[in-house]
Structure 1
Amino acid sequence: MHRTPMLLEDLSVEITARDTPALVALAADLPAGTRVSVTHLGTEGAAERREAAAAAARAALVPVPHLAARRFSSESDLRATLEGLRAHEAHERLFVVGGDPRTPAGPYASALDLIRSGVLAEAGVAEVGIAGYPEGHPAIADDVLWAELGAKAAALAEQGLAGSITTQFSFDVDAVVAWIERARALGITLPIRVGIPGPAGVRRLLAFARRCGVGTSAGIARKYGFSLTSLVGTAGPDRFVAELGSRLDERHGEVRLHVYTFGTLDAAVAWAREARAAAVPAERP
């Protein structure tokens, strides 16, 4: 059975705090219960991130604030952040990542350190998302990534916390499917949300891909079907999603999609609505 309609049933989206006005304006166009991830950027303050999460909660969406472990200066800093999120009913589902700073600001050098601290469980967190990298990480070796992924999944289970994995966005279905199969072979059974770039200008997509170390410009162009001779226009994930849906089956476990909006939430919301409508006939006899 083609799994594209299932992939599109429960999309999650990712925004930054500066996208809050767009989220408020577009909330009615998102299905109730849609997960809205709020990134933890060093250029945005805790109050701004809390307001983004609170705006999602007020709109009957599910806020998933990010915690960047290396940005917390102390355990008390982490606890204060969690208390602030709790006050806005935005603390139950979180996503924990290591973060960009080369030197940790405090006691947490990695997402695993923060999870193992036990502070999340004590704060009433119910579910913790962790990161996956189907095309690798520009600064971390693959064997380390896999070891950390398994350790984080185990640490969540030991603390009775539900977990999920959200992957870095990718343009390569082969890499994503191979990564999911390896995760399952290693006994990692957590639900997986495959990161995809929402519709965006070609130049913008390539810039984000270079920043995150995801593929080469030539490889991206070949897989996404645009030409590097003309970088004008927008590229969307339709081809990627259709191919991914055609290749997944029960062996791959629970898989959904996570849309990186890159500041264009309106385009992502419109694409999701149209993609769901187009996918419905695929399930009819």
Structure 2
Amino acid sequence: MSFGSTAPTAVSTSLLDDFSLEMTGKDVAGLEEAAATIPQGTRINVTFLGNENLAMRLAAARAVKRLGFVPVPHISARRLGSQRQFEDFLAGLRADGTCDDVFVVGGDPNTPEGPYDDSLSLIRTGLLQRYGVHHVGMSGYPEGHPAIPAGVLWSALNLKATELTEQGLSGSVITQFAFDVDPVLTWIEDLRKRDVTLPVRIGVPGPAGVRRLMSYAARFGVGTGASIAKKYGLSLTGLLGTAGPDRFLRALADGYESGRHGEVKVHFYTFGGLRTTAEWIAGFRKEALV
């Protein structure tokens, strides 16, 4: 696969130097297949899905560590049935030496399964720090959230950033994936104007089938209008095709300014294709340096 040689060097030397990836508890075999292509020390987020249990989540985090990467287990507030379940997960991570970094998120259920309504409530328990967590990631939504008003999202993000500082924890933000760079960079500027200086990892979809990408976009409220699709390289009439984020990354490198946007890296949503995404990144980085 050719990615062309016109990508700015900044794509590789800055934004892509410390990219992160995402996997599920069921992707351990895929991670093992992709391991040789992923730089050692890469941060790999392990999602907290409703159809996976404690043992699967812990095993996935252990696999990430065993293969030489940095595990970032997710904790879904509304999927936790009790404080005991929360502490069992944290205790398991601590016992495995995989608790240093976590990512907290509200989660999909409309009604909480236990006492935690949102990710802020997890942070406020003080349990993260008690069980050895040092860094906490949280979500950002440049194009909004289908079920949460923009004002609520901004307020929650500010409160979480403040709470982490007060607890002596470091933090970062991972954005929902997007097909259009412009609203993402505008959102980061707004974030900085609100005095939130946390590093931001911009969510990028790994190469995948167009139909799959469109399905995830519809689920998460990501813009897919005709002009956006054309800019990204999606063919709305060729749903059986595939698309990679090369145009998005080039546009990101062109628009990114450290003075305006602060510390920014890239986070790849792999949609189950760890090896495909890892190989794509390796090829793109190589040609970006030509």
How many Å apart are 1:226 and its aligned residue? 2.8
Structure 2: segments with no counterpart, 5+ residues: 1-7
Aligned to 1:270: 279
Deviation at 1:229, TM superposition (A): 1.9
Q: Which moved more, 1:75-84 or 1:221-230?
A: 221-230
* Contact 1:46–1:81 (CA under 8 A) maintained in structure 2: yes
Cα distance change of structure 1 residues 46 and 182 upon mapping to structure 2, 3 Å threshold: same
TM-score, normalised to structure 2, is 0.94
- Contact 1:9 1:276 (C-alpha < 8 Å) held by counterparts: no
Residue 119 in 1 paired to residue 127 in 2? yes
Q: Distance in 1 between matches of 2:85 and 2:75?
A: 11
Aligned to 1:246: 254
Residue equivalent to 1:224 = 232
Instruction: Provide the rounded CA distance (Å) in 2 between the counterparts of 1:56 and 1:220.
Output: 35
Query: TM-score, normalization: structure 1?
Result: 0.96
Q: Which residue of 1 aligns with 2:68?
A: 60
Please name the residue that 1:35 is paired with: 43
Q: Confirm or deny: 8 A CA contact 1:67 1:95 kept in the other structure.
A: yes
Q: Is the 8 A contact 2:16 2:266 kept in 1?
A: yes
Q: State the distance in 2 between where 1:226 and 1:261 align.
A: 17
The equivalent of 1:84 in structure 2 is: 92
- Preserved contact between residue 13 and residue 261 of structure 1 (Cα < 8 Å): yes
Residue identity (%): 52
Q: 2:210 touches 2:235 (CA, 8 Å); kept in 1?
A: no
1:2 Cα deviation after fit = 6.2
Partner of 2:117: 109
Q: Does 1:132 align with 2:136?
A: no
- AA aligned opposite 2:10: R
CA distance in 1, matches of 2:173, 2:44: 15
User: Partner of 1:259 in structure 2?
Assistant: 268
Greater mean deviation of Cα atoms: 189-198 or 45-54? 45-54
Q: CA deviation at 1:278?
A: 1.5
Q: Distance in 1 between matches of 2:17 and 2:273?
A: 21
For residues 12 and 112 of structure 1, what CA distance do their matches in structure 2 show? Answer: 23
The list of structure 1 runs, each at least 4 consecutive aligned residues, that deviate by more than 6 angstroms after superposition, is none
The number of residue pairs the alignment matches comes to 281
Structure 1 residue 107: Cα displacement: 1.4
Q: Deviations over 1:189-215 (max 9, x none)?
A: 000000000000001100110111111
Alignment of 1:163-242 (within 5 A): 163-242=171-250
Distance 1:190 1:74 in 2: 30
Q: CA deviation at 1:232?
A: 2.1
TM-fit CA distance, 1:220? 4.2
Confirm or deny that 1:280 pairs with 2:281: no
Q: Which runs of 5+ in 1 are unaligned?
A: none
Question: SS of 1:104's equivalent?
Answer: coil
Residue 3 (structure 1) aligned with residue 5 (structure 2): no
CA distance in 2, matches of 1:13, 1:220: 24
Superposed displacement of residue 219, structure 1: 4.5
Matched with 1:157 is 165
Give the whole-Å Cα distance in 2 for the aligned partners of 1:71 and 1:239: 36
Does 235-244 or 67-76 show the bigger shift? 67-76
Give 1:170's aligned amino acid: A
Q: Aligned with 1:195: secondary structure?
A: strand
2:179·2:229 contact (CA, 8 Å) conserved in 1? no
1:96 matched to 2:100? The reply is no
> Contact between 1:3 and 1:249, CA under 8 Å: does it hold in 2?
no
Deviates more, 1:100-109 or 1:191-200: 100-109
RMSD of aligned Cα (Å): 1.2
2:179 and 2:224 in contact (8 A); partners too: no
Flag the 1:82–1:4 CA change in 2: closer, same or farther, 3 A: same
Structure 2 residue identity aligned to 1:274: G
Bigger shift: residues 244-253 or 132-141: 244-253
Give 1:216 shift.
Answer: 2.8
